[in-house]
Structure 1
Amino acid sequence: MTDLSRLARRLPLVLWLTVVWILLWGTLDLGTLVFGVLVAVLITALFPPPPVFTNIVVRPVSLVQLIGYLAWDLVVSTLRVSWQALRHRGDTRAGIVAVTLLTDSDHLTAMIANGISLAPGKFVLQVDREHAICYVYVLGMRPGEDASVRREVLALEARVVRAVGSAQEVALVDRHKKLRKAGS
């Protein structure tokens, strides 16, 4: 790999470290900026980050749709949890649902778990990597809502996969969607 391509790969990290340097010093002037860049270059030269290989393919339209969905879910979940807090006053039911994911990518699993845990009322308690199972805690869950929670998590997984998954993973979630429609 050429020095130019290595520098281009490190540029976002150098920029981020420079911003952190400026924020730490609390002032933006030429000296702080120059020394921030020098320190960032020195750090990335002495401690180069290890290469990370992923099969992530960013699809901008699907990514914007995913972000919109997560923002909407944040609002709806906040309202739902607020309503339960006012209505039940500490006597809210909860449950844990095991959801078997379709994909086995660590990066996608982390994104899905973070997407679930982003909004109030749900979060991932544990991920069983060997069996691709997410254990999701759900506040305000009524008896018999297990299937609904599984559908929501799998729908989020499909959105994440369509936004950043490989072509094979997109095909996998599309096949699952077709099978689910045929079975219902």
Structure 2
Amino acid sequence: MFKVLMLVVAFVSTSINNLSYAETNTLNANKVLEPFIFEIGSNFSDIQSKFSLEIRNSGVNFIKESKWYKLNTPVGFIFLQEWQGKLHSIAYEIDTDNIEIKKELINYLFEKYKNNFEWIGRVDNGFYISYESSNDSIQGIYAYSLGTTISFTSNEIRKAETKIRFPNL
């Protein structure tokens, strides 16, 4: 009976330690991302002055005057789109296999980018889940088909890109 009791205690102790470790990792990952939370529509030169950005050529860039940049973070890469001196799109590529940490980071980012609105209009097309802001200011996307990417894009640049792609609309 004593051996059974010891096994139960060991199992409970291990479970508590694993849960504590996962919670600590999630909190650390959220803290790690905090300096990399940028407001959509903010002055891009402020971001450039604080971070070392690598210019990127996007495979799809409908607005030729916009520029894409890459920024390394401890949990993956961030891709930033600058247009007319403002940040219009940010994409976080999360590099972790831990499902719990991934879920927490997704929730954390969507909460951080929720700014005086609610996320509405959830659409899952089998590759990503798209959300619209209730005030029609930004779109949030959780792309899950090839890794994990969470992105936020201004509706201003989305409308401009639509005019270029579909001029007869």
TM over 0.5: no
- Between Structure 1 and Structure 2, whose CA radius of gyration is higher? 1
Q: Indicate the structure with greater strand content.
A: 2
Q: What is the TM-score normalised by the length of structure 1?
A: 0.27
